[in-house]
Structure 1
Amino acid sequence: MPSLAAMRVFETVGLTGSFTRAAERLNLTQSAVSRQVKILEDQLGEPLLIRHHHRLELTPAGHMLLAALGRAFHEVELALRGIEEESNAHRLRVNAPPTLSKRWLVPRLADLRRTCPDIDISLTTDLTDSLAESSLLDCAIRFGDGEWPAFHSVHLMTERHIAVCAPSLIAGLSRDEAMDLSRFTFLHVLASSDRRYLTWRHWLTAAGLEDVDTSGGLEFDLLDTAIEAAVCGLGITVADRHMVARELADGRLVQLLDVEVDGHESYWLVTRQERKPPKMLVAFCDWLTGQCTGERRPG
């Protein structure tokens, strides 16, 4: 039998259609991935891939093996999940966005321990982890519009955007001077490597400051990092009020102008559509929605 590692590498290459993407997912070098597939082909005496200049194509043998491996790894993962659930019936595996986890969820876990002492949480923040049947996750908190086909979603809270900065940044400025945003550095959050979220534009429109040039400034791939940059006095950022509640309370950040804008998307608790979800999952859902009720505006 070929090595399990080589078959796992081939499955990833087959699913991604690329040695480069497979290497990134497996945390290997591209040459190591290519070499593993070549070893597998040599052992089988049959090509599994047709290597074009910019893409890979599965051969009939490659299609057959990929389908078989998918079924096999799925069965193994289900078995592992069953074993782990039996060995630790109190563990709940949750996946959530990094900023929400650090700034909102983790500070509340002490209350969860008091309310549901039998629940042990495993919290991960890798958003590529899905709730597919083969996943070990029990539930996930997702940011979006609530539309995830084949899953059940419960609304938790909607973003409330405010502009914030360190107190030292506006110390000694009059209100008119503070409203001249051109004197500050803008801190942006990236939606992708070359695209910013539109939170600054939406906030400026609500504030009646549409002529402000926001093309400059610093960019970060996480809201958490942009918030830390604001705390350090590097500039001003638009952040979800829920995520900066502690900094506002202890004075490390102040709100710039009395303008608040509801975000276009929300946080949702996403679970599988099970006829009878586990009691532990129901208890966590009840606790989580209860925590979010206090975050919402009256009415």
Structure 2
Amino acid sequence: MTNLRRKLPPLTALTVFEAVARLGGFTRAAAELGVTQAAISRQIHLLEETFGFPLFRRLHRRVELTEKGKQLSSTATTAFNLIAETISEWSREEAEEDLAIAATIAFSHFWLLPRISSFSKAHPTIRLRIITQDNAVKVDGEDVDLAIRFGTGIWPDGDAEFLFHDEIFPICSADYAQEIGEIEHLAQLTRHPLITNDTADPTWTDWAEWFAAFSVPMPSKSSGMHCSFYTEAIYAALNGHGIALGWRRLVEDLLTQNRLVRLTRQAIVTQNAYFFIAPRRKARKKAVDLLIDWLKREASIPDPS
């Protein structure tokens, strides 16, 4: 290493030379490197003194490479490009370890986050970023590697693959269920507070659609709490404010823990389903394939109930 350093010119001066040669002038090189033109001149003069011959011909308002200057410029450009490519490759490898997943608030909160630690334990070098919002995050941008959505499976911004269907039934807290007693007829549900939530998703099933599936008239008014998000509706049910619609895939952990209970045997199976969507317009990271395999395994785990 010591012998190599003795053979090389000052690296700062060589960097300045490469910029001047590539840009064709001291002024442009000074602007690119963020120094004064005088500083550029000093570094070039130092380099020429080191070599003992000129690298540039000073012409009127411009400089021109000498023959030896041209040789050094070609070699320096090749060397700097090789260094830049190596660093760029490191950056790509580093980026391979970052994985951004988009999901709705409810799916992220109740299904993804309680399970994702098993993926992280199996792949500790992959840094996960969960993008949580109910408005669909487009996967054809640069920030999302995989999205999970509920719907038809047809979206213009990515390739969708089926994950699972869901089924929907009334749920409430264990204490509330004991308080109201057994539900023998579905019409009995309408006498109790029905918890609802806002949604901009036309594929989301609400109480009116659920009752209609069993030919039960929906009351014109309900005394139940109205929430902005499904997560809030579930927490309202957990705290005994009434009856909510439980999407089994989302609330199955709460059912297993007996924090929520299912009130009826009747349920409707969703026509739509959950899908994961990968971008079409960018190369898929290896980490995405690992996540997809993990999602498929988790989706295939049978209902504990």
TM-score bracket, shorter-length normalisation:
0.5 to 0.7
**What is aligned with 1:215?**
221
Structure 2 residue 110 is matched with structure 1 residue 110:
no
**Aligned mates of 1:171, 1:178 — CA distance in 2:** 16
Q: Which secondary structure does the structure 2 equivalent of 1:229 belong to?
A: helix
CA RMSD of aligned residues (A): 3.0
Match 2:129 to one of 122, 126, 133? 122
Larger radius of gyration: 2
The letter of the residue matching 2:295 is: L
**What is aligned with 1:187?**
195
Relative to structure 2, which stretch is displaced further, 101-110 or 272-281? Answer: 272-281
In 2 relative to 1, CA 122–172 (structure 1 residues): closer, same or farther, beyond 3 Å? closer
Q: Is the 8 A contact 1:203 1:259 kept in 2?
A: no
**Aligned mates of 1:167, 1:178 — CA distance in 2:** 19
State the shift of 1:97 in Å: 0.7
Q: Is the 8 A contact 1:131 1:271 kept in 2?
A: yes
1:86-117 deviation line (CA, Å, top 9, x unaligned): 54431111111111111111111121123333
1:269-295 deviation line (CA, Å, top 9, x unaligned): 101126862221111111111111125
**What is aligned with 2:178?**
171
Q: Which secondary structure does the structure 2 equivalent of 1:175 belong to?
A: coil
**Aligned mates of 2:295, 2:162 — CA distance in 1:** 10
Aligned residues: 214
**What is aligned with 2:100?**
93
**What is aligned with 1:233?**
240
State the shift of 1:245 in Å: 1.2
**What is aligned with 1:138?**
145
1:63-97 deviation line (CA, Å, top 9, x unaligned): xxxxxxxxxxxxxxxxxxx9975544311111111
Uncovered stretches (5+) of structure 2, i.e. residues with no partner: 1-88
Match 1:244 to one of 246, 251, 265? 251
**Aligned mates of 1:181, 1:214 — CA distance in 2:** 14
**Aligned mates of 1:259, 1:156 — CA distance in 2:** 23
The letter of the residue matching 2:137 is: D
**Aligned mates of 1:136, 1:196 — CA distance in 2:** 26
State the shift of 1:165 in Å: 0.8
Structure 2 residue 286 is matched with structure 1 residue 279:
yes
State the shift of 1:262 in Å: 1.0
Uncovered stretches (5+) of structure 1, i.e. residues with no partner: 1-81
**What is aligned with 2:164?**
157
**Aligned mates of 1:157, 1:172 — CA distance in 2:** 34
Q: Which secondary structure does the structure 1 equivalent of 2:272 belong to?
A: strand
State the shift of 1:221 in Å: 2.4
The letter of the residue matching 2:261 is: V
Q: Is the 8 A contact 1:202 1:261 kept in 2?
A: no
Structure 2 residue 277 is matched with structure 1 residue 289:
no
The letter of the residue matching 1:235 is: G
Identity %: 23
In 2 relative to 1, CA 185–150 (structure 1 residues): closer, same or farther, beyond 3 Å? closer
**Aligned mates of 1:175, 1:207 — CA distance in 2:** 18
